[in-house]
Structure 1
């Protein structure tokens, strides 16, 4: 069953690898997304598509009424089935970045209202109506935003891209080396080889040093609290971050240097 997820924990920055295209609609509250280059802020009534094979972090805004998003995940089997069934005209308009804006419409607003009777208490659609509602939403999106067809129905794997630029934008995302390799259009062995040639270092050592340098700047120049930044910088735990920081700089991250 495809889930319609609801996030209720506010003000926590999280990172995500997005394996499938995700349609995001905000019923109430607000959220900001960051993909390493651009930030997109969504408020009540806004929507976008988060592109598959993207890295993205999000932060939920403080809101008295709470945060109520609706997510539809368009995986490849569903999209291929839809393409075979409906044979949509695909407009190959170029879209860049992880977040693709969706123009609001009365059709979309009415659709969002229509799914409420089919949602379960865990924010999932009743399985009997799930495929129908997914198809209905996609028909509406293609009718009102036809350029997204070139995005959704492109099933090619990531192309080989500029490794240096990608890593400098995404060094603070905590994903595996194999994931970095895939996203840059390389096998793991080719990724490690190209990385060594470009940075004259191994990916693991370079990532740790780059993240710690950013942490040093955040703590000593911007006065940020280590406990508030270690996850943002790609460390899995505060203890791991503290040990690595002290090993590199000779003092604990809580000791601000003058």
Structure 2
């Protein structure tokens, strides 16, 4: 990891509609710690299949956690990405693959062909940073951050990124709510840049997701060797997933 730099995360969702009305969503995320794919299928506005592929993971249980996305089969399509929270227990899922599935569900409900989010979080100085989010290459959000609180602008000022944030986003327009949730997740993950993951061992967000449930602590092993720094090479994010997202592979 560079001495100074930035956390970068790219999330991309592509959908297609078949002649018989079936829908498919392909969703991918890549950042310093993760590279995941989620593939969803829907028919008659209901999820019929959910598959995951954890290409680069921060721990040994991410792939197995993502397989729990099958719990979304039978869910009705919904244009709100947070709707998946009403259908499955987020703490019994892989946080990041579950997020991807939510974005895929929303994209299929809207029949939105493609969307890409790019988040940049410069390394914090005394807890401060200014995080930005672009949508399809266009600036959308710019938040001043202190630790895990948004200092501004309105309507986010003094808003904690912890409990209650998802509920808050329901007061926003659908497009902004989705972007805000993508930004929030990136800010959480960006905190990892300040840690030696190997030294942390099994200390972490116990209870926060399926892999980090207490009963699995004996199985879980961090994979610090999977870490990649994209500070100076944002163009590399999801480069290896381009053909898959374009439905060419």
TM-score (norm 1): 0.29
- Which structure is higher in strand share? 2
TM-score (norm 2): 0.30
- Which structure is higher in helix share? 1
